[in-house]
Amino acid sequence: MAYPGYGGAFGNFSGQMPGMQMQMGQPVPGTGPNLLRGGYPAYSDSYSSAGDPMWTYFTAIAGQDGEVDAEELQKCLTQSGINGTYSPFSLETCRIMIAMLDRDYTGKMGFNEFKELWAALNAWKQNFITIDQDQSGTVEHHELNQAIAAMGYRLSPQTLTAIVKRYSKNGRIFFDDYVACCVKLRALTDFFRRRDHLQQGVVNFVYDDFLQGTMAI
């Protein structure tokens, strides 16, 4: 299965610098109902606060500035219980959650972004629960590979190995790190997609642009 708007049919990443060129493989046919030409996911920004039950909750957390920073998001998600029996999200995971949707680079999240994140978290959580059948709070290497494929990403074995190595602890992946992995995959994919104007899976990066985009996540 694939979650609309949160996966993408992407292949191998390779590149060199400066004048960096990165290339991706062909999209997986039929991955998700909301894929654009070239296999990219269609993101939705059509949220409204009018009559929304989450609006009151959001404003109570956001405070006077009307936006949520990483510390406020961490508190909000912990109190909401969205992590269930799993450990609370770390502050670093909350930072990259915000970076994923921080399109105006304020380091904070507005209501539309908050709802978009909430939908993504619920999809990722359901995926993790499906994989974590023994409810241990962790998944193994091959299970993370299956989860990434289920979200519609098409990655090389070498890339999958690098991801597992980055997000595993003693050979297992905890829920917090799983979410961090999902967030980074989506954020980096979106960063790439915005620059792939022809949607052919090939982008030429200026080195400074590459650093700004990746270091912000």
| pLDDT, tens digit (0-9, with 9 covering 90-100), for 87-142 | 888 999 999 899 888 877 788 999 989 988 988 898 888 889 888 878 788 888 88
pLDDT score recorded for residue 51: 66
pLDDT score recorded for residue 154: 86
Q: Specify the CATH number for the domain of residue 209.
A: 1.10.238.10
Q: Which domain holds residue 188?
A: 52-216
Chain position carrying tokens 């209501």: 111
Q: Is position 5 within any domain?
A: no
Q: Is position 182 within any domain?
A: yes
Q: Is position 187 within any domain?
A: yes
Strand-strand pairing, 202-205 and 138-140? unpaired
What pTM was computed for the model? 0.69
Q: Is position 44 within any domain?
A: no
Could you give the number of structural domains in the chain? 1
**Mean pLDDT over residues 160-179, rounded?**
89
Q: Is position 180 within any domain?
A: yes
Q: Is position 8 within any domain?
A: no
